[in-house]
Amino acid sequence: MLLSESGLERPPVVGVATDEDGFAHSREGCGEGSVGKIAPPERPDGRNLVARPRFPFVDLSFEIRTAQNVPLALEPASIGQRILATGVDTLIGVAWMGGVGWALSEALGGLTTAVAIVVVWLPAVFYHLAMEVAFDGRTVGKLAVRTRVARLDGAQPSLSQYLLRWLFRLLDVTFTFGIVALMSVAFTRRQQRIGDLAAGTTVVRQRRRLALDQVLYPLIPEGYEPVFPQAERLTDAEIRTVRAVIARLQIAPHDARSLALAERAKRAVERRIDVGEVEMRAEPFLRLIVRDHVARVDRFADGVLA
């Protein structure tokens, strides 16, 4: 269990926690004490500079529990993402009504009321509902900004939930020009508009699929010479910690907390392998450390086996 700064036990969330020395520790699926950490620097008298490490919990946007009582962290879409997605979808609706309406008018010599309603207006009116049901909570706008509609437990919403949030869209967006939706998203903890509050849904970021082999098993070219041969000083547990930081960056590359965590990890590795301050960004430096560690360890193993 992760220990928060207050000392209370808290279940592990699919995420990363940090200690005072700047390292992230993935605790999911690990027993107590099974995750190592890079040792803090020592004073000349041999005493640790960090007397009592803590593991403050890194708070992702909100935490829910699945039916199996497994904690899961979801990150709501930002207001900017939601506005951009709405703008894209609105442009599509306007283009449809204008383009199709003009084409039919030219072809038929004018539009009857029935044709206008069935062919032009109904697709635009039902666009959001049809797209979200057909594409797992995503419209073209949401696909563009990598967001989707999700239930508060992270699962896919039901048809009734999609229908309810679509009906409330008239109040949230259509009749109020989005002002009500904007205020609701801005002032609710899970960034929900009124339709989301009624349906028990929200709009979350669509996380990138993480290719674990990119983090765990970097490809080492034949004859590769490590840039930092000192990386072999790191233990397997320490390298796992570095990989956890890299994995978090792959999942949320623009998240301020992920970037700050990587900077702290970079400084801790620099102290651990005694290379001074390296003029590199955190992510490429950490990837290079993993690559150099694997290269040195593999070379040592080949020598022993030979």
Cβ atoms of 153 and 66 within 8 Å: the answer is yes
**Average pLDDT, whole number, for the chain?**
74
The number of CA neighbours under 13 Å toward the Cβ of 182 is 9
Instruction: Of 189, 190, 153, give the one whose Cα is nearest residue 70.
Output: 153
Instruction: Of 231, 251, 230, give the one whose Cα is nearest residue 239.
Output: 231
> What's the pLDDT tens digit per position in 42-83?
444 444 433 333 333 333 345 554 444 444 556 788 899 999
Write down the H helix ranges in the chain.
79-108, 113-115, 122-125, 127-134, 140-145, 159-167, 169, 179-187, 194-199, 212-216, 236-251, 256-273, 282-305
Angle at alpha carbon of residue 1, lines to 151 and 293, rounded to 5°: 100
Q: Hey, how many other C-beta atoms are within 10 angstroms of the C-beta on 129?
A: 17
Q: Considering the entire predicted model, what is its pTM?
A: 0.51
**From residue 213, how far is each of 25, 78, 209, 287 by CA, in Å?**
19, 30, 12, 13
In this model, does residue 234 exceed pLDDT 70? yes
Cβ atoms of 258 and 248 within 8 Å: the answer is yes
**From residue 161, how far is each of 63, 89, 165, 167 by CA, in Å?**
21, 20, 6, 10
Cβ atoms of 202 and 195 within 8 Å: the answer is no
pLDDT band at 202 (very low <50, low <70, confident <90, very high): very high
Cβ atoms of 282 and 263 within 8 Å: the answer is yes
pLDDT of residue 254: 82
